[in-house]
Every structure is written in C-alpha cells, then in structure tokens.
Structure 1
C-alpha cells in the first residue's frame, strides 16, 4: 500500500524544491554587479584591437553574443539598423563573440548575416570575466559617456526602449 503524504507536507516539499531551483538559477546565471566599464582591450575580428579607454566620452553598446544563439542572430538586422542610425551621431557599438566561438565561425556568421558593426572575439574569455562572468547570450551593456554601466539586459533587447535611452544620451555628448 502506498502511503500518501498529507497535502500540507506535499506543498512544503514542493515549495522547498522550487525555492532551491530558483536560488540555483539565480546563482548560476546572475552576473556580478558591474557599475563601470572595465579596463580591457578587445581583439577585433579583422585584426587590431579596441580598448575600453577608446570608448570613453561617448555612449557605447557592447553586446555579448554567440553564433549558435538564435535570439542573438535574430537581433542582427535590428542591430545593423541601430548602427546605421546612430554610429554617425556618436554611439559606439561592439559585438563580442563568446569564447567558445571560433574566429572562423564568427567570420562566417558575420559574412552570411551581413553584420555591419564592429566585432571582437574573446577566445580567452577575458571580456566575459571582466563584464561579470557573462554566461547567457545575448547580453547587452549600454555604457554612458562617463563609463558607467547604464543598462545590463540579458536576453532579447527591446529596441524601442533602447533607442529612447540612446536618444537621451546623445545630446549630452560633447
């Protein structure tokens, strides 16, 4: 004969399991708090480098992405439009490929999807660590002209909201 737990005991076990799962997910996927742009140099896909010091005094959008990330790939057309609309007005953009993406895979994806904005590889995961152990893609960071992290968005970006934020930042750029 199967012994049935009273309903209150069953609910307690379920609640404990749920709290444990939420705590684990929060611990595993929440990046370290990041208030300011870290001091770092990015390796650009086509050679050369870009340091965070070169991003100073202008707003910047830095996006961590992967060639195997469906949401990342679906954002590329909107990111291209954002770059076309704002690069000439002072917004700097950089896409950082995750360390598990080979430069060849990144280059092929860039060419196939016509990615137009600057692209860096992070084969040693230095940028991933410097930005608080980024684990989920896409992860977007909007950096203010003073180097402060204004927005960290994990997952798909709401580009209407992003454009509103960028519009507020650009008049303040000298």
Structure 2
C-alpha cells in the first residue's frame, strides 16, 4: 500500500478547517443586545442609545470583594475620560438590594452610572456567571473585550484608549 502524501495533506487541511469552525467561539464578535437597564436613580437607559461612542458595561455586586476593590480603578478612569464621550455603566446584580447599592455608591464616591438588573435578565443576555464581568463596547455596538475578574488600571486605560481611537 502506497502512501499518497497529497491525499493525506488535503485531508489534514480539510480536518483543520472543520476543527476551526467547530471550535471557534460561537457568533464571532458579538453585538450588544437591544436592552434597557434601570439606573439606581430611577431613569431608564437604553444600550442602543450608547452607540456612537465606546463604553464599559460592568456587572458587579456589593457583596463581591473584587468588585468593590475595582471601584477606585473605574472611578479614576471616569475622571480621566470626562468630556470624551466614554461612559461607564456599572450594573448591580439582581440579588443586590437597592439601599445597599445606593449606600455603596455614596460610600465609594461612584460618579459613573450605576444601574440595577432587578430581574436578572440583562445578566442572562450577557451570559454573566461571575462578578465582576466587564464588556468594553466599541462605537459600533460590538463587544470588543470581555473580561471576567478585576481590571488592572493600566490595561483598562490602554484598551479604552484603543477603542477611542477607533
């Protein structure tokens, strides 16, 4: 039996392509779902209304040490990006109580938008399983970066600056 090198190479190539498509992340670059979130101040914020400028959507909890530890990093970024059009929206999980969210906002001096996912529907739409989980969204409404865990201040600022440049 003679080995057909060309035939083996073609089969290996086809198998490689099939594996790529079967193992690649589903959907590729995902677009932010058309959703709304209730801010802790009672206003409704449509994620569609944020298109045109990059933003950070971060899911957090008042009972999550990593989330609370990340607040100064987000606050520093908020201060640096003021006037640029970049926004930070921190979405508290459904199990957080509004009085605890409001108290944390005051205690930590959070000046960026704080919302509450009362029903848990937004976390489901974004498939959030742990906090903090963050999504950097480009001006086109597509998720550019998804991160589970706390941000390093330098890394976050670098990613935001890249998004702002387009």
TM-score, normalised relative to structure 2: 0.80
Contact 2:29 2:144 survives alignment (8 Å): no
The answer to whether residue 147 in structure 2 is matched with residue 153 in structure 1 is yes
1:123 positional shift? 1.0
Residue in structure 2 matched with residue 58 of structure 1 by the alignment: 53
1:72 positional shift? 0.6
DSSP-derived class of the 2:156 partner: helix
**2:80 alignment partner, one of 81, 85, 95:** 85
Q: Deviations over 1:86-122 (max 9, x none)?
A: 1311211100000000111101111111111100001
> Any unmatched runs of 5+ in structure 1?
1-31
Distance 2:91 2:29 in 1: 17
Q: Which runs of 4+ in 1 moved over 6 A?
A: none
> Any unmatched runs of 5+ in structure 2?
1-26
Residue in structure 2 matched with residue 69 of structure 1 by the alignment: 64
- Say how many residue pairs are matched: 140
TM-score, normalised relative to structure 1: 0.76
**2:120 alignment partner, one of 104, 122, 125:** 125
CA-based RMSD: 1.5
1:171 positional shift? 2.9
1:34–1:43 distance in 2 versus 1, CA, 3 Å: farther
1:48 positional shift? 0.8
Distance 1:43 1:135 in 2: 20
Residue in structure 2 matched with residue 27 of structure 1 by the alignment: none
1:34–1:167 distance in 2 versus 1, CA, 3 Å: closer
Distance 2:29 2:37 in 1: 18
1:162 positional shift? 1.6
Q: Deviations over 1:6-34 (max 9, x none)?
A: xxxxxxxxxxxxxxxxxxxxxxxxxx987
Residue in structure 2 matched with residue 11 of structure 1 by the alignment: none
